[in-house]
Structure 1
Amino acid sequence: MLLTLPTPPKIGMVSLGCPKALVDSERILTALRADGYAMSGSYEDADVVLVNTCGFLDSAKAESLDAIGEAIAANGRVIVTGCLGRDAALIEAAHPKVLAVTGPQQYEQVVAAVRAAAPVPPSAYLDLVPDVGLKLTPRHYSYLKISEGCNHRCKFCIIPAIRGDLVSRPANAVLREAEKLVAAGTRELLVISQDTSAYGVDIRHAASPLNGRETRAHITDLARELGQLGAWVRLHYIYPYPHVDNLIPLMAEGLVLPYLDIPFQHASPAVLRAMRRPANDARVLERLDSWRAQVPDIAIRSTFVVGFPGETDADFAYLLDWLEAAQLDRIGCFKYEAVEGAAANDLPDHVPEAVKQERWDRFMAAASRISAAKLQAKIGRTLDVLLDAVDDEGGATGRSKADAPGIDGEVHLRDAHGLKVGDIVRVTIEDADDYDLFGVAA
């Protein structure tokens, strides 16, 4: 007699927000797959749809509520999790048909809600989960989350209220995950957290054993160990604490990519004080010069906020002058947006929307000009490029060591026949625009 296993329930997933939320989605789906669930790529084919929400800005909340509504309209059986999940009343008022609401990092509660909504038949479970959990990124790059939460109390941010204070993972747990990812085909590890420089502060940089040696829970020690695994290592969300200077020699040695993602937010000392951020901008410029002297190809990316309450014309002019002096490689900008629960809401002198827009336009014009000049200087050089896509016509798209996925520029190749996604190839740069490079495999 031919025996057949019951069909396992299928789970759909909508993941919104930052890379840290994407890692949460991966962990949830990995736990569900281990429980015997299958994954679905469509609303219609799913037994339950999970929506992992973002709740930082009002615009992100609106996007999350829209996504929940779309999932309900298409499927009808929806479970909500993530940062907006901390406000269950808001979600349930807008969408009373949701099956359950859980907050960020509440993996067990999400799995329990799925089990209640779509139980797995007892004999449908097969233990076929490999060493690496389910990934929502391509095989060749992976986000590696090293901690949760944040100890800062910036006035525009509610992350500590959503995700709590800093909680670091033991170094051996991070390294074990990284080893498995690299063994499974990851060519680039993107190290993320809310404050990567603060990694290990909460556990007093405790050392933990792995492969016969101990590694401290400290970003410098961790980066050095990650650099031994044979993959690109890219560091995100690096606050410019003094010990960040110790990462630069690792870049000079080739252990870590020459790339720092530093959230400067502003340059005017008055605005930084109002934000409750470090305000030593002159020292930052000195350190940028020092880093570039040690690693000439280092790429510095940052994001800024214009229109913060109390920002004057003089403050904004200071920011533009600082930007010209700093000559950052990758620059993003946001118009200040009030966030429910943020201390900045109570500050005086909120900036009119029209003024925010005008400042944002001027800022981005300056950023575009700086980026274009930086990229023009790369014409004629040969760079290592990690391929993200290859088309049937012989073209390919990838990223240099100066480009993080989804937020920075790209390198577009012609005559890329025979290459495949995940290859690291040498590319001679022939042309550039404001944000992207164009070339041919060397």
Structure 2
Amino acid sequence: MNKLSPTIGFVSLGCPKNLVDSERILTELRTQGYRIIPSYENADLVIVNTCGFIDSAVQESLEAIGEALNENGKVIVTGCLGAKEDQIRTVHPKVLEISGPHSYEQVLAHVNKYVPKPEYSPLTSLIPDQGVKLTPKHYAYLKISEGCDHRCTFCIIPALRGDMESRPVGSILDEAKRLVDSGVKELLVIAQDTSAYGADIKHRTGFWNGMPVRSDITQLCTQLANLGIWVRLHYVYPYPQVDDLIPLMAEGKILPYLDIPLQHASPKILKSMKRPGTIERTLERIKQWREICPEITLRSTFIVGYPGETEEDFQMLLDFLTEARLDRVGAFTYSAIEGAAANNLPDQVPEEVKQARYERFMLLQQQISAQKLQEKIGKTLTVMIDEIDEEGAIGRSMADAPEIDGVVYLNEEKRFRPGDIVQVNIEHADEYDLWGSVKQ
């Protein structure tokens, strides 16, 4: 069997964008006849798809590479950390080959070099039309572009993944259709900068199903809406054209959910970050979005303890949270990333101050989140079931993205399957999650 089907162990780390890269690599490997296994033991080769965005991710990637080397010994590395080959080889000189992010052809060439592909394998006939997916059957990530054109001072994504390259609109819609045909009920649209889709190709018109479609996020979402499934937007940079998406949400064409990384609220800090700095305008837009689409869920991420952040700057951030009352919020203490411009800024914030501010930030947001979830008690929400465990069903409302937001618990409810969509009466809430029963 091994002669016909060499085995490849695979480790995928990092963000959903990296997960999509892993899915593509795995699909190509299966197409060539390799057998993918979820362990190091008996693998002819191990691939580690790494993350290199922040220090903790770098450390996790290096540890995963070390574990694979110890357990198997035959390891190739790809992904974001692969763009820093010297750093990897300093720690793990025995790695066979290293390539950067979305280097699909290089990865395959490296695999072929050490484990020649079989002349024939029955596995190739078992590949589904949508390719190999690492997510549950009922939802999938849809990556619409690579790279990023921004030069935020805290970030090195352009150095790792290059400038933005938008996919042809017809190719995206073809993939979306294949996923829906395979049983996917929710598409999570991702990119480093989703709202900029098509800017690098001057929003040229493509074709799908014989009809012209402009390469911009609004037209893309309009077409995705016609597939009859949930469409959720992530990593939406706050360009003016985001306003055009809100009516689509109000009309029920795409989910009323906007993941928009604002990063801070102090104009001084935002300017230093090279991010949009008119926070009053941001508050005004949020108010307008809620007027147009009262059901909209707003998610964002913020950095506390950025170089130069004073107590006054931090208070501006807390004041913004209080006024904006965002539904879902993530926060990070500033971490120096090798190669980031912010490393050279003066007035670095002491670690103990960063941590204290982080705890104050999260305490405030927990109170806001708890209040907003309490407001849902007594309402009926549309919920997609994700899993069934010994206590019952676990699902998500339209306000919850998988892995990063809250869930809805349906205790003692075991008659459903993942992907089912049900109406739920909400009966209880804490800071992050909801509990309810199926509407009869």
Match of 1:218 in 2: 216
C-alpha distance in structure 1 between counterparts of 2:95 and 2:290, whole Å: 52
Contact 1:102/1:109, CA 8 A, preserved across alignment: yes
C-alpha distance in structure 2 between counterparts of 1:313 and 1:21, whole Å: 36
C-alpha distance in structure 2 between counterparts of 1:130 and 1:438, whole Å: 36
Shift of 1:392: 4.2
C-alpha distance in structure 2 between counterparts of 1:5 and 1:143, whole Å: 32
Shift of 1:125: 5.9
Q: Which moved more, 1:201-210 or 1:115-124?
A: 115-124
Residue among 285, 288, 297 paired with 2:286: 288
Shift of 1:310: 0.2
C-alpha distance in structure 1 between counterparts of 2:339 and 2:82, whole Å: 15
Residue among 243, 249, 273 paired with 2:247: 249
Shift of 1:326: 0.4
Shift of 1:91: 1.1
Match of 1:61 in 2: 58
Shift of 1:377: 0.4
Match of 1:415 in 2: 412
Over 2 Å off, 4+ runs: 4-7, 123-127
Structure 2, unpaired ranges of 5+? none
Match of 2:349 in 1: 351
Q: Aligned runs of 1:156-171 on 2, under 5 Å?
A: 156-171=154-169
Match of 1:73 in 2: 70
C-alpha distance in structure 2 between counterparts of 1:439 and 1:115, whole Å: 52
Q: CA RMSD for the aligned pairs?
A: 1.2
Shift of 1:397: 0.7
Residue among 286, 298, 301 paired with 1:300: 298
Contact 1:413/1:441, CA 8 A, preserved across alignment: yes
Structure 1, unpaired ranges of 5+? none
Q: Does 1:11 align with 2:15?
A: no
Instruction: Render the CA deviation track for 1:186-220: whole Å, top value 9, x for unaligned.
Output: 00000000001100000011111111211111000
Give the AA of the match of 1:194: Q
Instruction: Render the CA deviation track for 1:260-307: whole Å, top value 9, x for unaligned.
Output: 000000000010011111001001111111111111110000000000
Instruction: Render the CA deviation track for 1:239-268: whole Å, top value 9, x for unaligned.
Output: 111111110110011110000000000000
C-alpha distance in structure 1 between counterparts of 2:72 and 2:436, whole Å: 45
The SS at the match of 2:120 is helix
Match of 1:108 in 2: 105
Shift of 1:41: 1.4
The SS at the match of 2:49 is strand
Quick one: percent identity of the two aligned structures?
A: 60
Residue among 18, 27, 45 paired with 1:21: 18
The SS at the match of 1:440 is strand
Give the AA of the match of 2:436: G
Contact 1:5/1:124, CA 8 A, preserved across alignment: no
Shift of the 126–429 alpha-carbon distance from structure 1 to 2, 3 Å rule, reads closer
C-alpha distance in structure 2 between counterparts of 1:379 and 1:308, whole Å: 37
Residue among 253, 258, 261 paired with 1:260: 258
Contact 2:4/2:119, CA 8 A, preserved across alignment: no
C-alpha distance in structure 2 between counterparts of 1:200 and 1:435, whole Å: 35
Shift of 1:130: 2.8
C-alpha distance in structure 2 between counterparts of 1:154 and 1:264, whole Å: 12
Shift of 1:6: 4.1
Give the AA of the match of 1:229: L
C-alpha distance in structure 1 between counterparts of 2:84 and 2:70, whole Å: 21
C-alpha distance in structure 2 between counterparts of 1:242 and 1:120, whole Å: 49
C-alpha distance in structure 1 between counterparts of 2:32 and 2:212, whole Å: 33
Shift of the 343–321 alpha-carbon distance from structure 1 to 2, 3 Å rule, reads same
Match of 2:398 in 1: 401
Contact 2:388/2:418, CA 8 A, preserved across alignment: yes
Match of 1:364 in 2: 362
C-alpha distance in structure 1 between counterparts of 2:183 and 2:413, whole Å: 21
Match of 2:79 in 1: 82
Contact 1:6/1:124, CA 8 A, preserved across alignment: no
Residue among 272, 275, 282 paired with 1:274: 272
Contact 2:82/2:99, CA 8 A, preserved across alignment: yes
Shift of 1:175: 0.3
Q: Does 1:429 align with 2:426?
A: yes
The SS at the match of 1:122 is coil
Give the AA of the match of 1:410: V
Contact 1:380/1:430, CA 8 A, preserved across alignment: yes
The SS at the match of 1:363 is helix
Contact 2:33/2:120, CA 8 A, preserved across alignment: no
C-alpha distance in structure 1 between counterparts of 2:336 and 2:123, whole Å: 48
TM-score scaled by length of structure 2: 0.98
